[in-house]
Structure 1
Amino acid sequence: MIQVLVADDEPMVRKGVRAVLSTAPDLTVVAEAADGHAAVELARLHRPDVAVLDIRMPRVDGLRAAAEIRRTLPTTGIVMLTTFGEDEYILRALGDGAAGFLIKSGEPEELIAGVRAVADGAAYLSPKVAARVIAHLAAGGAGARAERHAAARCRVETLTPRERQVLAFLGAGLTNGQIARRLHLVEGTVKAHVSSILTRLGVDNRAAAAVVAHEAGIVPASRTAE
């Protein structure tokens, strides 16, 4: 079972997240928190596989809670729940090592897929989140968007053809095992490719690499995993 901590200051949102996750037979919510401070304490107590954190919470916000959980429990994956208008927070969370980003108004299936992907060590960007992040990064008009797209394409071109294939699936939220099956490789080879991709792109984590994949326009249209 994948153990999940849910933190949001709105009781109905917490109950809704729990209800969605309870429909998946492999997911179980082990704790709920109403603020970031409680989230950190409960994470230390339960050591969940994944912490689903709202960005804006009282006392300690989701960003600070995520950073503290990552510092003390590096094996716990972080999924951030966001709303429109929080683009700068998403960028900060990317830098702090969060691996999943979901819009609160998104489809329930995305929440389940995102938690599973992060629990498996993958990155997961909701398509709406990816679009918002890219739009925010490209703020300044069509020229800026074109420049960022071109820059991302140039960065991707530094990769080998196989690494570009791996990056595309990484951007779609697939785990190393799923990528290995898609490309008929052993999982260790995919892991090595991912490490090389992060180095070549100059990014610190899979989520940041996924943003580059989206900016470059190489993410497959289908996000379906085996």
Structure 2
Amino acid sequence: MDALNENLKEHTSVGHRCRTSVETASGRRFSDLIVLIGISGVYAHGLCTGLADAGIACCCLSGSGDLTAVLGVADSVLLVFPETQQANVDGWLADLRRDRVRTALLISDSSPQAYRWGLATGAAGVIPAQAELEDMISLLRSALHNRTVLPVSVVEALARATGAVGADLTDIERRWLADLAAGRTVGELARSYLRSEREMYRSLSRLYRRLGVANRSAALLAAQRAGLLT
């Protein structure tokens, strides 16, 4: 964060301003373009400036409105967004050509479990939001070219966890999976386990993350493969 703040200070004096839309009238076309989504303020400006200085074309979007226009001027796009925007981005991409779009996820937790969850979403890059600017640009450049770079410690942890999916789940979490597999809704689970629906959704989200997946369907598939539903 400090590096991003300093980067912004250095460039405001020369009039840098992140674009919030892509100009299509000029006829310019990009072979590769990084698009920051759902990232605001100093962080977005600093990162966008750093990418531009590294010779990487980028722009900042606040939502899905300009995404179609972006795809119209670039051959390949890397969407960069915080983990809290995952569901929104999935919705935006539902009707778009995914072969032209890759994603990079900014995670607030740099634990192996967070990396595993990020990779399970299909992201080409999983990057700690607190990473130094130089490291972040290098990681984004790799993701832009469909190369995933992970810390050695994370790779070792993921390797150790292979084949042990769900080993650390509690009895109640296993019952939740069984109930979901039986077709029960989140509302029914909430009533059965004396929770609000909102709390139940949060608990299930944490469960999915521990399984290294992003949604109910993927969780049930992972649970079945791990023998948790027998």
Highest Rg: 1 or 2? Answer: 2
Normalising to structure 1: TM-score of the pair?
A: 0.46
More helix by share: 1
Normalising to structure 2: TM-score of the pair?
A: 0.46
